[in-house]
Amino acid sequence: MKKVSIALCLTFAFASASAPVWALAGHGPETIDLKAAYKVVGEKNAVIFPHHKHQEKVECAKCHKDVKGGGPLVVDIVELTGTSNDFHKKFCWSCHVEMKVPKGKSCKTCHR
């Protein structure tokens, strides 16, 4: 009985101690060319999304349906043309406004 509870304690200690490390580590691609990934057609410079940089500031679950990250995003990206595309309207801009990212809505921040 004693052994079991020690094992449980260790499991919990490990789980909580490893949580911040897991949140900070680089997962998936470091950067993602969203123009290529979503086959976006247009004149603007491709957005090279700094994925790992975001992982240092934002939890996976803010962007991915699965709390562990990867797979589908929390919003469906359907509209891909013009300035009312879903990346602007539902995903990137909304969070940048919410988290008060400096120049978060400035074109040059994302289209370089």
What are the residues binding ligand HEC (CB under 6 A)?
Answer: 27-29, 32, 34-35, 37, 40, 42-44, 46-47, 49-51, 53-55, 57-58, 60, 62-64, 69-71, 73, 81-83, 85, 87-88, 91-93, 95-96, 99, 101, 105-107, 109-111
- Taking the C-alpha atoms of residue 106 and residue 66, their distance in angstroms, rounded to an integer, is 29
Buried b / exposed e over 37-61, threshold 16 CB at 10 Å, is eeebeeeeeebebebeeebeeeebe
Supply the minimum distance, in Å, between the C-beta of residue 11 and ligand HEC.
21
Supply the minimum distance, in Å, between the C-beta of residue 108 and ligand HEC.
8
List phi, psi (to 5°) of 46. -60, 145
Determine how many CB atoms are found less than 10 A away from the CB of residue 35.
18
> Between residues 7 and 65, which has the closer beta carbon with respect to ligand HEC?
65
> Between residues 8 and 15, which has the closer beta carbon with respect to ligand HEC?
15
- Taking the C-alpha atoms of residue 62 and residue 64, their distance in angstroms, rounded to an integer, is 6
- Taking the C-alpha atoms of residue 37 and residue 78, their distance in angstroms, rounded to an integer, is 13
> Between residues 10 and 65, which has the closer beta carbon with respect to ligand HEC?
65
Supply the minimum distance, in Å, between the C-beta of residue 24 and ligand HEC.
8
